[in-house]
Amino acid sequence: MLTPRDNEQIHAKGIPLNTIEKQLLHFREGFPFIRLVRPATSGDGIISCTPEEKLSCINWFDTYSGKDKIVKFVPASGAASRMFKHLFEFLDSSDKDILMKDKSFNSVFYFLTHIEEFAFYDDLKVFLSQKGFDLNDLVEKPDAAPVIACLLNEDGLNYAGLPKALLLFHNYPEGPRAAVEEHLVEAAKYVRDSRNTASIHFTLSPEHTEKFNDRILHVLAGYEHSLEVKFDISYSIQKSSTDTLAVDEANLPFRNPDGSLLFRPAGHGALLQNLGDIDADIIFVKNIDNIVPDHLKGPTFEYKKLIGGYLMQARDRINNFLTKAEKGGLSAEELNETIVFAREMLMIPFPSGTETLNTAEKQSLLVSKLNRPVRVCGMVKNEGEPGGGPFWVLDDHGNESLQIVESSQVDMRNDQQKDILQSSTHFNPVDLVCSIRDYKGNKFKLQDFVDESTGLISLKSSGGKTLKAQELPGLWNGSMADWITVFVEVPIITFNPVKTVNDLLRKEHQ
């Protein structure tokens, strides 16, 4: 079904042919559902630190973090257009009067009548004035169409064409801040090293890099001066070799009008290579839109240090064990203590009969369990927010492990699985810290720890024709499935994403 021209196109993108074959197989056969055992809860998969444990982790981070190269990794390649879905629908509507009668929080009416509270208000007012509109008059009428058009379109602020990183999120007396600026302020607090340098890595789309660089150059000196820090800012582009082939409804390769194959970006799981390329000992991962103004940042700093300190303590003990194991110097007592540590601090289940193994067998088992990348993930109590959650799951070999699971991975036709999913007590705010080096200081090959069976297939369209798109295993789902995974409870104040523009009107963003 592939022509010589197809093979040339595939080769030019750097995609191995056997990868295309796997993708086509997944389209034909689908991905298997995750098998949930039970939700991870406090005391059973989620660690709820006592005040003493919390202080210990924070102190450990403050004391020893300067010895590590720490980087903050921020996926920021997505366009902001989805934030404005209800505004686009308003512009496309033929009966705008009906829509303006809705006065709920996520309505166009609420957006317009609270327009002064947005950080982009002054810029919007200037652009409208240049077009002959008075913003105050438009609010009083009310007439939302010119306001929305000016906000979203290219001849205005062009917010629909920008990444979230460059949108103005919060107001300050000295002026508004874009999302990317808030990440600079955060990084200065908890990824500053012994050389007083804070390192941040952003993933970007190619079309956004120039504007991103312009913004950074415009504000960098001011933040370095006010925060008394030197920033090391880097970015990368999602690799073309991670794109996935699209197919038609018959599972045959979807073709563009010129006969070429259609490839699509493969979701945030494609960023695993970007993550693995980073030269760092410790990597914090946080989404671009999960930020708050300065007066609410305190808990964020506190719990970043908590999960960072927890990771560092766990990693150091793992590395100490693996170093001793390589030298063959572990006693039976040390092996048993390591099993307790792995069970209680790392939440690693061990098969029945582990205690009866001889010394060599115990050591071999522990080495296989511990010689892996480590991630410590903050988990927030579920208050009805959408998104993945922490669960105990069963693999094909009958082994249980902790995983972050999305609802799309669960067979909702199975009442038992559906009940387990709905009984979840916590959800994933994408608040994690990672260690990707082994005990010898070498980087793990992260692709070796991916569960390839956890991708996602969805229906899309191109040129008016329906197609099937495939996403790689999610970055914090299947891409990290075989990592050592620890879930730590963090408070809801650390999770304040901006999914719609009206979310910027919530008290957490004011």
pLDDT in tens, 287-322: 999 999 999 999 999 999 999 999 999 999 999 999
Q: Is residue 147 part of a domain?
A: yes
Chain position carrying tokens 């590395």 = 319
Q: Which of 304, 495, 301 is nearest to 389 (CA)?
A: 495
Q: Are residues 271 and 234 in the same domain?
A: yes
pLDDT number for residue 386: 60
For the chain, what percent of residues have pLDDT higher than 70? 99
Identify the three-state secondary structure at position 213.
helix
Q: Is residue 259 part of a domain?
A: yes
Mean pLDDT of the chain: 94
Q: Which of 343, 349, 282, 382 is nearest to 70 (CA)?
A: 282
Q: Predicted confidence band at 94 (pLDDT cuts at 50, 70, 90)?
A: confident
Residue 398 has pLDDT above 90, yes or no: no
Q: Are residues 241 and 141 in the same domain?
A: no
Backbone angles phi, psi at 423, to 5 degrees: -95, 10
What is the enclosing helix (H) or strand (E) of 298?
helix 298-327
Q: Is residue 84 part of a domain?
A: no
Q: Who has greater pLDDT, 463 or 289?
A: 289
Q: Are residues 176 and 292 in the same domain?
A: yes
Q: Are residues 21 and 139 in the same domain?
A: no
Q: Is residue 468 part of a domain?
A: yes
Q: How far apart are CA 441 and CA 67, in angstroms?
A: 13
**Structure tokens of 300?**
């964020």
pLDDT number for residue 99: 78
Q: Are residues 464 and 433 in the same domain?
A: yes
Q: Is residue 88 part of a domain?
A: no
Count of CB atoms situated within 10 Å of the CB of 402: 23
Of 129, 161, 193, which marks where a domain is finished? 161
Strand pairing partners for 35? 394
Q: Is residue 334 part of a domain?
A: no
Q: What is the DSSP letter of 203?
A: E
Q: Are residues 130 and 178 in the same domain?
A: no
Q: Predicted confidence band at 268 (pLDDT cuts at 50, 70, 90)?
A: confident
Segment 206-231 mean pLDDT: 96
Q: Are residues 129 and 176 in the same domain?
A: no
Residue 384 has pLDDT above 80, yes or no: no
Q: How many domains does the chain have?
A: 2
Of 141, 161, 181, which marks where a domain is finished? 161
Strand 456-462 and strand 263-264: pairing? unpaired
Q: Are residues 184 and 266 in the same domain?
A: yes
Q: Are residues 153 and 201 in the same domain?
A: no
Q: Are residues 132 and 273 in the same domain?
A: no
Count of CB atoms situated within 10 Å of the CB of 441: 8
Q: Are residues 233 and 279 in the same domain?
A: yes
Segment 185-198 mean pLDDT: 94
Q: Are residues 146 and 177 in the same domain?
A: no
Segment 165-191 mean pLDDT: 97
Residue 81 has pLDDT above 90, yes or no: no
pLDDT number for residue 101: 87
Q: Is residue 203 part of a domain?
A: yes
pLDDT in tens, 104-151: 999 999 999 999 999 999 999 999 999 999 999 999 999 999 999 999
Q: How far apart are CA 7 and CA 120, in angstroms?
A: 48
Of 136, 161, 186, which marks where a domain is finished? 161
Report CA Rg, the chain: 25
pTM tops 0.75: yes
pLDDT number for residue 387: 66
CB contact at 8 A, 342 and 369? yes
Q: Which domain holds residue 134?
A: 96-161
Q: Is residue 471 part of a domain?
A: yes
DSSP for 212-255, please give it.
Answer: HHHHHHHHHHHHHHHHT-EEEEEEEE--GGG-EE-B-TTSSBPB
